[in-house]
Amino acid sequence: MQRLLLDTHVLLWWLADAPILGKKIRKLIADPRNEVFVSAATSWEISIKKSTGKLEAPDDIDSIVEDEGFTKLSISMYHGEIAGRLPLHHKDPFDRMLIAQAKIMELSFVTNDSKAKLYDVKIIDPLI
């Protein structure tokens, strides 16, 4: 069993059945033995980018995540503290939160973001 945290772009690729997602990661996400997490930071990022016109994405990510059988990951005060203490390799607050959550909860972070690799967290490339 693996425990995966999807980066925002990976969740959106999954929902759109985007061909950029690799076969291995599709199998990992679809495997019911694996636990797939989606952070509240992801829905926050999606809603902000939608409201500014920078992103087109489905409405009601909360229900979609539930329908997909993914585990919703709340943001705690501790997550915020750790995200704030991370080295400034990455300045995006959403990505820093996801990295902190992956680190704290010992999740494999599924991301194509090269800056995430600069942190002490297990990364899975979604293109494989």
The CATH number of whichever domain residue 53 belongs to comes to 3.40.50.1010
84 belongs to a structural domain: yes
What integer is the mean pLDDT of 52-67?
92
80 belongs to a structural domain: yes
128 belongs to a structural domain: no
Q: Which helix (H) or strand (E) holds 38?
A: strand 35-39
Q: For residue 11, what are the domain limits?
A: 3-113
123 belongs to a structural domain: no
Check whether 56 has a pLDDT greater than 90. Answer: no
Global pTM reads 0.94
Check whether 111 has a pLDDT greater than 90. Answer: yes
User: Which residues does 20 contact at the CB level (< 8 Å), separation at least 6?
Assistant: 13, 126, 127
Contact 126, 110 (CB under 8 A): yes
Give the mean pLDDT of the chain.
Answer: 95
Total number of domains in the chain: 1
What integer is the mean pLDDT of 83-88?
92
In 3D space, the residue among 94, 68, 63, 64 whose CA is nearest the CA of residue 80 turns out to be: 94
Check whether 123 has a pLDDT greater than 90. Answer: yes
In 3D space, the residue among 112, 116, 109 whose CA is nearest the CA of residue 127 turns out to be: 112
Check whether 89 has a pLDDT greater than 90. Answer: no
122 belongs to a structural domain: no
Give the tens place of pLDDT for each residue, 1-26: 999 999 999 999 999 999 999 999 99
125 belongs to a structural domain: no
Check whether 90 has a pLDDT greater than 90. Answer: no
In 3D space, the residue among 20, 39, 35, 16 whose CA is nearest the CA of residue 100 turns out to be: 39
Percent of the chain with pLDDT over 90: 87
121 belongs to a structural domain: no
Write down the residue that tokens 């059945």 correspond to.
17
82 belongs to a structural domain: yes
